[in-house]
Structure 1
Amino acid sequence: MKELSLDDRPREKLQRRGARALGDNELVALILGSGSCRAGALGLANELLKVHGGLHGLARSSSDDLDRVPGVGRAKAAQLVAAFELGRRTLAHAPAARVQLRTPREAAAFLLPEFGSRPVEHFGVVLLDTKHRVLRTSVVATGTLNSTIVLPRDVFREAMLGAAAAVLAFHNHPSGDPSPSPDDVELTRRLAAAGNLMGIELVDHIVLGDARYCSFKEAGQL
Structure 2
Amino acid sequence: MKSVKEWPETERPRERLLKHGAQNLTDAQLLAIILRTGSNGKTVMETAIELLNKFGGLKGIEEASINELQSVTGLGIAKIAQIKASFELGRRLLSQPAQEEVFNSASLVYNYLYPKLNGLKKEVFITLLLDTKLKLIKEIKVTEGILTQTLIHPREIFKEAVKESAYAVIVAHNHPSGDPDPSEQDVEITRKLKKASEILEISLLDHVIIGNGKYFSMKENKII
Q: TM-score normalised to the size of structure 1?
A: 0.54
Equivalent residue for 1:115, pick from 114, 117, 126: 117
Provide the aligned length of Structure 1 versus Structure 2: 125
Residue of structure 1 in register with 2:218 after alignment? 216
Cα deviation, residue 117, structure 1: 2.5
Identity of matched residues, %? 38
Residue type of the alignment partner of 2:213: A
Q: Residues 127-161 of structure 1, C-alpha deviation per residue, up to 9 Å, x if partnerless?
A: 000111111111011114xx452111100002112
Residues 152 and 190 in structure 1, CA contact (< 8 A), matched pair in contact too: yes
Residue of structure 2 in register with 1:151 after alignment? 153
Cα deviation, residue 97, structure 1: 2.7
Runs of 4+ in 1 over 2 A off after TM superposition: 96-99
How far apart are the structure 2 equivalents of 1:135 and 1:129? 6
How far apart are the structure 2 equivalents of 1:209 and 1:178? 4
How far apart are the structure 2 equivalents of 1:179 and 1:120? 16
Cα deviation, residue 113, structure 1: 1.0
Which has the higher Rg, Structure 1 or Structure 2? 1
User: Which consecutive residues of structure 2, in runs of 5 or more, have no partner in the other structure?
Assistant: 1-97
Equivalent residue for 1:126, pick from 125, 128, 142: 128
**What's the secondary structure of 1:217's corresponding residue?**
coil
Residue of structure 1 in register with 2:41 after alignment? none
Cα deviation, residue 195, structure 1: 0.3
Q: 1:116 to 1:161 in 2, by over 3 A?
A: farther
- Give the CA RMSD over aligned residues: 1.4
Residue of structure 2 in register with 1:204 after alignment? 206
How far apart are the structure 1 equivalents of 2:206 and 2:171? 6
Cα deviation, residue 116, structure 1: 3.1
How far apart are the structure 1 equivalents of 2:194 and 2:220? 15
Residue of structure 2 in register with 1:191 after alignment? 193
How far apart are the structure 1 equivalents of 2:142 and 2:178? 20
User: Which consecutive residues of structure 1, in runs of 5 or more, have no partner in the other structure?
Assistant: 1-95
Residue type of the alignment partner of 2:178: G
How far apart are the structure 2 equivalents of 1:165 and 1:116? 28
Residue type of the alignment partner of 1:116: N
